[in-house]
Amino acid sequence: MTLGSYAGGCIRLWRGASGKPLAASPAGEALVLAEGIETALSIAIACPERRVLCAVSLANMARVTLPPAVRTVIIAADNDAGNPAARRALDGACQWFLSQGRAVRLAMPETEGRDWNDVLQGENV
């Protein structure tokens, strides 16, 4: 649940290896952007060397504003296979960052209906 508008914003969960604020990201940094808070927290636990942000919602991913120093965005996506609206939103987010000249990598669990929090917890969904 959020209070107020979050369009274009994100929750900055983990600073990664640099330990610097997002605005002072080292040149060429890669970061992980997750849809939801649970997935983002799971990524921060599993990959503490990475900067991790939460977009709050899939629809907001294509609005998140990042500093120019961030050159690679790793999108930690939920596996919403079979949901065309979710896939369009995910593709839109990828295109948003690609249009800014950033490299985009997509990390998605193999099993349909799972997210990275499920994977970390070893849950069978």
Q: Does pLDDT of 82 surpass 60? A: yes
Assigned token pair, 125: 């969904």
38's enclosing H/E stretch is: helix 37-46
pLDDT at 64: 95
pLDDT tens-digit map of 24-37: 999 999 999 999 99
For the residues 57-64, what does the mean pLDDT come to?
Answer: 93
- Domain range 11-111, CATH architecture: 3-Layer(aba) Sandwich (3.40)
For the beta carbon of residue 119, count every other beta carbon within 10 angstroms: 17
Q: Does pLDDT of 10 surpass 60? A: yes
Nearest-angstrom CA–CA distance, 66 and 62: 11
C-alpha distances out from residue 25 to 29, 36, 49, 84, Å: 7, 22, 13, 34
* Residue, of 116 and 18, whose pLDDT is higher: 18
